[in-house]
Structure 1
């Protein structure tokens, strides 16, 4: 069975759309949850025809593969009776039976969700059976059929939509349980918060404590508990944070030593591994656990997190990274922790060589210029090819966009560092447009700076605020403008030229990827050109219909 070129391009477009849709749908989604696949609602929305149909005639099978006519149009075709048209036009609403490629060995009368794209080529005047490209049927249970039929009536967004899927978390039907989780995973965190008063708090605690629950879903349940939990739940999460093998090790060592004298050595090693495995299980969702703990405890929970994960140089890399993810979450999504207090916690990480570069983008994004001198010192003390140098330059490039003392200090620091490592500064300028630092650049007096009250000059401040004062406008021919131009020294002019030289051209940023994409599409079209000699005749058959 061959695939005509026009259908191949149609499905390529469908797959590209699906990837784009999945990528955009996850923007601002549940912070610690990752959707494993498109939700059923997304699959239906991306199809042009979607039906629920029953299998009435399975595809022909044979124990001898040589009996199959692989070039035949009926190879692998199963027949389905349409029960409900979920999406489609008037022509698809009149469908009674359809034929779809399906090799599954399901019983007759089994229901399926089947989506399709319609080939609307210029030579086809109306939809015909041969111009519909059906996707692989998705088997449904009776509960699944009832579930899918209700999706169209749900609100497109909001807590009311999540309330429906909440009832199917850990559903006995694995398909429904997975789809409900994926719906939560792509939902904005604000919608999860709006659902808090309708959550079953005790059920969430039971799921979090259940060793059979996987890491992904446990992260979701921890996030949900953080929105609806009580003070006692905060104590529960704190006990899990303190559940550490290093703290248990003295008691475990005494117990294992006693067992070694009275029992076989194998049982001792097995018990030791079981204890370690239990600790790993409880800490595998550490980012969501810390975030939920801080959501319930507020600023009073930060000292424990700082002492255990940020100040402790012996903490595992993954544990410190999880703590940083939790702090970023609260810095962007909640107001439980003051921004200044979060920044104090991040400052502790600057003393950790392994993680100092990880927090510099956060400091730039939240416009914390109070550590500028320390970052410059880290640059000078770091190795030429070290991790810290380029983030520091990118931080300074963002700071240089600010007006007033902050911008002046950043310009002076950049000039100083450029003499030490000109290659690093140039590389950072070229890469800044593609990095997370690009999002940190804001207009002077706008964005996060408005929320920060402490000026840069104050030695006690955690976060500096760029000056909001602007120079008085002057006409090009005014005496003031002439004086300003006269003040520019030759070194300033040269440095300005270097800055412009290091900045990537907009034409290059947009044109190069566009040209590369067109070239690849052209090559792919040439490869397909001779893929199947029957493509021309196939197109003719479709046209005749």
Structure 2
């Protein structure tokens, strides 16, 4: 696997929003887990403390059996008959967490949860079934569970992903936009060749609006189509200045002016390229991904990030172009200059252990030293600070 860029393999699955603490985590960490029915609450006063009273309906953990009434400290508003998840640590005087409104379906979902110690594939199979559950708490929790596992564990169950349902969810305008990136990635993992058209329909619909989740849809396209999809992204998002229409000519606004490719779309395409570098395996050759990322050096707003990526990817073939940006208008700002110097310093350091000093040094090392010397003659303090920062880390 290539060097990690956005996230390492050990971290959470990309395009998922990890909630931090899921219901299964809460179940595992609590000594008392109850489905309670709100009965009444009193704000209290000078002579009596505030309290809330609940009826235990069901119990997963702890000594409180169904039918028992609990009087807990503190005022919690509610409605008669409303059901809530009540959890607490153990001990003689339990510390109760804030109650969470939960339905009977939600409590059943929690009860049947495989638990954090179950095999990852068993857990993910369970959560797959609940991704679009009508109960928002259940659906959100199931989605959050995917945000807490590495990408490799999701990829391991790709043959069990609901391909046809994913296609429907992606095209459904009612689907939560925050889920589109994740669903696009999943369809890329499990899809058939024809499913690429579903992703294309969303990606290349020709809009200048900001779109949540488009980076995951693009990543799904690259997972499914490899270099073919990469070229499509290059032609539609990374290379052109204006949004291309069906006939290849730029789309125009009401005044007949060509519509620029939105910065957000360019950045999303960059994210998809970065995703493939980290998670795509050998679907797209490393050199093609470098070529695609180099296109974004044309955007001064992205230069700092792109140069840092190309440095981590050891793309020394881009050195002449990157060094040439140092004094170019729009790029001659401190952040970009630091990125260029850091890139050159990394190239200078990238010497094979068996390489000799002097004429036998790799060409990229010789070139990096030349460019650094030229920059140092103009900005010695900036180069010194960059060297100090780099070598203080190693």
TM-score range, shorter chain: 0.7 to 0.9
The Cα of 1:315 is off from its aligned counterpart by 1.7
1:233-274 superposed Cα distances (whole Å, 9 cap, x missing partner): 1122223333114xxxxxxxxxxxxxxxxxxxxxxxxxxxxx
1:75-104 superposed Cα distances (whole Å, 9 cap, x missing partner): 133245384344xxxxx5578764433523
Q: Distance in 1 between matches of 2:21 and 2:116?
A: 17
Q: Distance in 2 between matches of 1:99 and 1:56?
A: 10
Contact 1:193 1:227 in 2 (8 A): yes
Name stretches of at least 5 consecutive residues in structure 1 with no aligned partner: 1-23, 62-67, 87-91, 119-126, 246-278, 433-502, 507-545
1:116-140 superposed Cα distances (whole Å, 9 cap, x missing partner): 346xxxxxxxx322xx321111122
Query: Are residues 1:392 and 2:320 paired?
Result: no
1:477-508 superposed Cα distances (whole Å, 9 cap, x missing partner): xxxxxxxxxxxxxxxxxxxxxxxxxx5499xx
Hey, what does 1:319 align to over in structure 2?
Answer: 265
Distance 1:384 1:298, change over 3 A: closer
Hey, what does 1:244 align to over in structure 2?
Answer: 206
Could you say what the CA RMSD is over the residues aligned between the two structures, in angstroms?
2.9
Which of 375, 378, 392 is 1:417 aligned to?
A: 375
Hey, what does 1:354 align to over in structure 2?
Answer: 301
Hey, what does 1:173 align to over in structure 2?
Answer: 135
Distance 1:152 1:235, change over 3 A: closer
3-state secondary structure, aligned to 1:415? helix
Distance 1:330 1:128, change over 3 A: same
Contact 2:184 2:220 in 1 (8 A): yes
Q: Distance in 2 between matches of 1:25 and 1:162?
A: 20
Q: Distance in 1 between matches of 2:134 and 2:37?
A: 23
1:266-318 superposed Cα distances (whole Å, 9 cap, x missing partner): xxxxxxxxxxxxx748x432211211111111111222111111111232111
Contact 1:52 1:114 in 2 (8 A): yes
Query: Are residues 1:378 and 2:361 paired?
Result: no
The Cα of 1:396 is off from its aligned counterpart by 1.9
Q: Distance in 1 between matches of 2:185 and 2:103?
A: 30
Query: Are residues 1:44 and 2:27 paired?
Result: yes
Contact 2:27 2:33 in 1 (8 A): no
Distance 1:315 1:102, change over 3 A: same
The Cα of 1:174 is off from its aligned counterpart by 1.2
Contact 2:42 2:75 in 1 (8 A): no
Which of 79, 82, 107 is 2:80 aligned to?
A: 107
Contact 1:155 1:161 in 2 (8 A): no
Query: Greater relative contact order: 1 or 2 (C-alpha under 8 angstroms, separation 6 or more)?
Result: 2
Which of 111, 114, 127 is 1:149 aligned to?
A: 111
Which of 248, 271, 279 is 1:333 aligned to?
A: 279
Contact 2:184 2:217 in 1 (8 A): yes
3-state secondary structure, aligned to 1:133? coil
Q: Distance in 1 between matches of 2:393 and 2:336?
A: 26
Name stretches of at least 5 consecutive residues in structure 2 with no aligned partner: 1-6, 242-259, 352-360
Q: Which has the larger radius of gyration?
A: 1
The Cα of 1:154 is off from its aligned counterpart by 6.2
Hey, what does 1:228 align to over in structure 2?
Answer: 190
3-state secondary structure, aligned to 1:59? strand
Distance 1:234 1:149, change over 3 A: same
Hey, what does 1:285 align to over in structure 2?
Answer: 213
User: TM-score, normalization: structure 1?
Assistant: 0.59
Distance 1:71 1:223, change over 3 A: farther
Q: Distance in 2 between matches of 1:300 and 1:505?
A: 39
Q: Distance in 1 between matches of 2:122 and 2:213?
A: 27
Contact 2:36 2:86 in 1 (8 A): no
Contact 1:223 1:292 in 2 (8 A): yes
Greater displacement, 377-386 / 205-214? 377-386
